[in-house]
Chain A
Amino acid sequence: MSSEHGDEPQISSIIWFARGTAGIASVPALILMVTFIGFGVLCRESGLSLGQAVFMTAAIWALPSQVVLVSSVASGASLLATWIAVALSAVRFTPMVAAWVPMVRQPETPRWRLLVLSHFVAITAWVWSFLKLPALPRSARIPYFAGFAVTLSVCNISVTAASFLLAGALPVEAAAALFFLTPIYFLTALSAAARIAAERYALVIGLVLGPLLFWFDVGLDLLWAGLGGGTMAWLAGRLRRHQA
């Protein structure tokens, strides 16, 4: 495959898409699928229907935000309160996608294609992008990403349905172990994806600050943990660089 773009773009795009699809047989994809078992279980325990659980995975495709949505629904919160909680949990997508766009974009890439494809950006596909895409020619990146990310989404829609149906048969220990996959997977994946010192500080500060603000029943606890903790981490990162 030539690294020059422009040669046989139609044929190469399909080949790159197919190669991206093969990425489903990888450790990060497997972990995410097992993690999604926990989501199906959570939906069932929270009183949602099978169709609602499946629709959530397809239409949102952001596991932490889906968990926030289910928790909010289970507590009987209003549409506005739920919207704010979910939106706060998803703010992360703006910088994630903003960092991802310059990597996949070509000068002629139409904006609508990036807008559509951005729906498939979530932690697993994002980390995978940063590991795989820089080594590929630019013309291959969008089809390769699409092949992987769309397949990952479709597989997890199926996992959501299967786990919802099987959830009733699970003992409480197994359900707890499956649900525990979500925080532990995100904790390790986020640690692996943290590139700069400020992000590592932010991870530690957020882990402590989030539960602390929740415990003291401060309103909008996630927002304050993000803005306050993130700013502290950013300042600490700057301080460290100036001292170095």
Chain B
Amino acid sequence: MTATFQTLGQDWAGDFGPYLFILLAGTLATDIWRWLGVLIGNRLRDDSEALNWVRAVATALIAAVIGNLILFPAGALASAPVALRIAAAVLGWGAFMAARQNILVGVVAAELVLIGGFVIIGG
């Protein structure tokens, strides 16, 4: 349980330790929810209040992941100023809404703001 990506199974699994880590902490940790969904899907009525609550919780959770990716990113994105990242996300979302919820328009607009901001700051 305290083993890490580098140390898990290094005595007996060798180079396959990290793959075992991915299977346990990745595949099992995600597919378990999919399998549970299959079991529940056979019982839960689609218009029930319980399903509405579960959907709201799930949406808030994934939105929290999105918020963290924008505000506290890892890697190269962290080199863009936080104000630029927020501006790009807000303007991209605004363009998405203005274009009748066209995802492509929203993504392209957000990227143009981010890249444009980078060019202005760098130049």
Contacts and interface: CB of A to CB of B under 8 A. Distances in A.
Asked if chains A and B come from one complex, the reply is: yes
Interface stretch (A40-48, A133-141, A155-163): A40-48
Nearest to B121: A173
A237 B52 contact: yes
A226 B66 CA distance: 12
List the 4 closest A-B pairs by CB distance, nearest first: A210-B64, A97-B37, A206-B63, A101-B41
Contacts of A92: 33, 58-59, 61-62
Given A59-B22, A210-B63, A90 B111 contact: no
Given A62-B30, A93-B30, A79 B1 contact: yes
Interface string A77-110: 1111011001111111111111111100100000
Given A60-B26, A92-B58, A234-B56, A221 B64 contact: yes
Given A94-B37, A101-B37, A119-B31, A187 B89 contact: yes
Nearest to A80: B1
A230 B66 contact: no
B69 interface: yes
A183 B61 contact: no
Interface of B: 1-6, 8, 18-19, 21-38, 40-42, 44, 46, 49, 51-77, 79-80, 85, 88-89, 92-93, 96-97, 101, 103-104, 106-107, 110-111, 114-115, 118-119, 122
B76 A172 contact: yes
Contact of A191 (B23, B49, B77, B93): B93
Nearest to A68: B65
15 contacts: A27-B103, A61-B30, A94-B58, A102-B46, A176-B118, A188-B106, A202-B63, A207-B66, A211-B72, A214-B72, A226-B58, A229-B57, A230-B59, A233-B60, A238-B49
B33 A91 contact: yes
Given A76-B5, A86-B30, A226-B58, 19 more contacts: A60-B27, A64-B66, A82-B25, A86-B25, A98-B54, A101-B37, A115-B38, A176-B75, A177-B115, A180-B114, A181-B111, A183-B66, A188-B106, A191-B97, A198-B53, A207-B63, A225-B60, A230-B56, A237-B56
A67 interface: yes
A223 B23 CA distance: 22
